[in-house]
Amino acid sequence: MEKRYHERNLMDFFTSFASEEICEQYLIKVRFPDGMPCLKCGKKDFYPRLKDRRAYQCKACKFFNRPVAGTIFHRTHTPLLEWFVAIFLVAFDKRGLSALLLSEELGLNCITARAMLSRMRRGMEKRDAAYKLRGCAEIDEMFIGASTEGGKRGRGTEKTPVLVAVSYVPVKGKEEVAGFAKLLVVDEVNEEAVLKYRFNRRHRRAELFDRLLRACWNRRKLHILR
Ligand SMILES: [Zn+2]
């Protein structure tokens, strides 16, 4: 099966997304791999795109379809090309891109940059909530924040403790395939914090899952029941 997303470095990115039209076509391909259907009648036959609107009119029912409807790009005047570059910069910057830096990089005003970042974060949050840990998962703690001079390392640190769980699927005779990861900021790293984590909140057998989790905590390895 063809991958919907591909890793891209800086050169790949700017070569691949060189115009507004290319970005729009890419968006349509990712959202509708079998072709964009009309929102009203479901048919897939459209007139050529309107020049001044991001819309395609359906030949059958004349409804104007917007490929960006229902995405973070909807109801914004920012061109998709700028959006794509902004998303790339956010994904590329490990420290977390500020609105000020984004506005400078893209030549936008700070309010627009802040609104774009906010939409991106909401989008990531929504997507993240849909991820479930499956198969086997490994759990560990990490500490986030700037280190203070003379501060302790490890569990005695003043940094923020975060629980991390990564699921993976063992493949016979091959390397394991990494799945989703979940992170949770906790007050303290201990067994109770792990239990509260309840990696999959919609789990129907939560009680059993908790017992299993408690038993597995010491090994930092657990099996998520399906
Ligand atoms: Zn239609």
Q: Which domain holds residue 19?
A: 10-31+70-129
Q: Are 65 and 58 in contact (CB under 8 A)?
A: yes
210 part of a folded domain:
yes
CA of 55 to the centre of ligand 1 (A): 13
Domain identity same for 185 and 110: no
> Would you write out the chain's pLDDT as a tens digit for each of its 226 residues?
455 567 778 898 899 999 999 999 999 999 999 999 999 999 999 999 988 888 999 999 999 999 999 999 998 989 999 999 999 999 888 778 899 999 999 999 999 999 999 999 998 888 777 777 766 666 777 788 776 666 666 666 678 888 777 777 667 777 667 777 777 788 877 767 766 665 444 444 444 444 445 545 545 444 443 3
Domain count, the chain: 2
Task: Give the three-state DSSP class for 142.
Answer: strand
What separation in Å is there between the alpha carbon of 35 and the centre of ligand 1? Answer: 13
CB 46 within 8 A of CB 35: no
Neighbours of 158 (CB within 10 A): 11
Instruction: Tell me the CA–centroid distance for residue 17 and ligand 1, in Å.
Output: 29
Distance 209 CA to ligand 1 centre (A): 47
The string of pLDDT tens digits covering residues 136-164 is 666 777 788 776 666 666 666 678 888 77
Q: Which single residue is written with the structure tokens 């990089």?
A: 105
Q: What integer best gives the mean pLDDT of the chain?
A: 79
Give domain status of residue 41, yes or no.
Answer: no
139 CB-near residues (< 8 Å, 6+ apart): 163, 164, 165, 194, 217, 220, 221, 222
Q: Give the distance (Å) from ligand 1 centre to CA of residue 13.
A: 34
- Buried b or exposed e, range 197-220, using 16+ CB within 10 angstroms: bebbeebeeeeebeeebeeebeee
| Residue 16 sits in the same domain as residue 114 | yes
Ligand 1 centroid vs 24 CA: distance in angstroms? 20
59 alpha carbon to ligand 1 midpoint, in Å? 7
Q: What is the pLDDT of residue 206?
A: 43
Residue 11 backbone phi and psi in degrees, to 5: -65, -45
Cα of 77 from ligand 1 centre, angstroms: 25
Specify if 111 maps to a domain: yes
Centroid of ligand 1 to alpha carbon of 51 (angstroms): 19
The one-letter code for the residue type at 43 is: K
Cβ-Cβ contacts under 8 Å for 29 (sequence gap 6 or more):
none
Q: How far apart are CA 147 and CA 14, in angstroms?
A: 36
Cβ count within 10 A of residue 95: 6
What are the beta bridge partners of residue 12? none
In this structure, is residue 201 part of a structural domain?
yes
Domain assignment of residue 55, yes or no: no
Nearest-Å Rg of the Cα atoms of the chain is: 22
Quote the ligand 1 centre to 30 CA distance (angstroms). Answer: 21
Whether residues 206 and 168 share a domain: the answer is: yes
Cα–Cα distance measured from residue 217 to residue 138, given in angstroms and rounded to the nearest whole number? 10
Does 143 lie in the same domain as 125? no
